[in-house]
Amino acid sequence: MELVKRGFQVLKQIHSKLIHKYYQHLYRKRKLRTFLMGVGSLYLLRRLSQLVMLLTPSIRRNLLQRYGEESWVVVTGGSDGIGKEFCIQLAKQKFNIAIIGRNANKMDQVCLELQGFGVQTKFIVADFNNGYAVDFYNKIYEQLEYLDISILVNNVGAAEAGQFEQMKMEDSFMMFRVNALSTLMMTRILINKLQNRNKKSAVITISSGLAYLPSPLVSVYSGTKAFTNYFTQSLALTSKNTDFLSVTPLGVSTKMLGNRKGSNIVETNEFVKNVINDLRQGKTHSFGCYQHKQFINHLLWRNQNYRNKVKIQIGNNLMNCQMLKGNQKE
């Protein structure tokens, strides 16, 4: 009898343990389900808000309201390519435009086109390849001092490809001055003016995807673009009253790429539209193109060997573009 009683008790204990475990399992399952539902709703909320931002321009920041009516945008290298497209799209939004470049005739033509949008224009002739002394930038500042400048677009850039040791020293030095020094010094001469306005201001820097994918045959160019990207993104963290946006695209169809077209090459109007949208949304970094963002992010996750192969391929492609550019000039 005693034995049966004990057996019964053991069975009862096992049963209650099993029930307990079952409830614990149910509880964990519910917790997991609640957690997954929470993550799911957060994701959905984020996507929905992005959709609303995209569909309702009035909810997006109105650029002219944010940066001030009648204010001026300064675009370096605004006579062609991406810079010219920035001039056009921002003039359409009623910003006055000041272009800095080396070719007076080309800038004059662009200014005439922009005046068609009912805005004021101005151009300053300056070859950034001559910008190796502070005085060069002081002279530019003297011509901008009296304008209410709200946005600076650090766009000017030049790319020469080739084996580093065989490249002309002048070309390496030129890229350093035109790409890196121009961004540093233009931002420096205008920063106080931008920060002390009643309205917000902005600095957009056109760096390059090569800032993340330093490639052979374009080592100097990649280095200068890494500098401008880091410089702009670091200023974004502590900026007063000024939005900083660093832009790192891969191929954009301009004369820099011999006007090449292709599925991985974005058109200037689409690229600039995306950058302006990212500025509106208050981002500090943009790829200006969804495919380029995907491509770079994907590569950064791959192993080094694979990444290096792609970088070598990019270097070779840019070398080909340089040849194409050369042929087009002839």
Ligand X SMILES: NC(=O)c1ccc[n+]([C@@H]2O[C@H](COP(=O)([O-])OP(=O)(O)OC[C@H]3O[C@@H](n4cnc5c(N)ncnc54)[C@H](OP(=O)(O)O)[C@@H]3O)[C@@H](O)[C@H]2O)c1
Contacts with ligand X by CB under 6 A lie at 77, 79-83, 101-103, 106, 127-129, 155-159, 178, 206, 208, 249, 251-252, 254-257
DSSP string across 52-120: HHHH-TTTSPPHHHHH-TT-EEEEETTTSHHHHHHHHHHHHTT-EEEEEES-HHHHHHHHHHHHTTT--
Q: Nearer Cβ to ligand X, position 157 or 162? A: 157
DSSP string across 248-275: --S-B-SGGGTT---TT-B-HHHHHHHH
First CA to last CA distance, the chain: 110
Q: Nearer Cβ to ligand X, position 68 or 251? A: 251
Q: Catalytic residue numbers? A: 221
Output the smallest distance, CB 68 to ligand X, in A.
26
Output the smallest distance, CB 157 to ligand X, in A.
2
d(CA 201, CA 203): 7
Q: Nearer Cβ to ligand X, position 251 or 315? A: 251
Q: Nearer Cβ to ligand X, position 117 or 136? A: 136
Output the smallest distance, CB 241 to ligand X, in A.
25
With beta carbons less than 8 A apart as the criterion, state whether 95 and 73 touch. Answer: yes
Output the smallest distance, CB 100 to ligand X, in A.
7
d(CA 190, CA 210): 27
- Residue 284: alpha-carbon gap to chain centroid: 8
**Cα-based distances in Å from 195 to 8, 78, 158:** 82, 23, 29
d(CA 309, CA 330): 32
Output the smallest distance, CB 131 to ligand X, in A.
8
Residue with tokens 């994918």: 213
Q: Nearer Cβ to ligand X, position 72 or 128? A: 128
d(CA 206, CA 275): 10
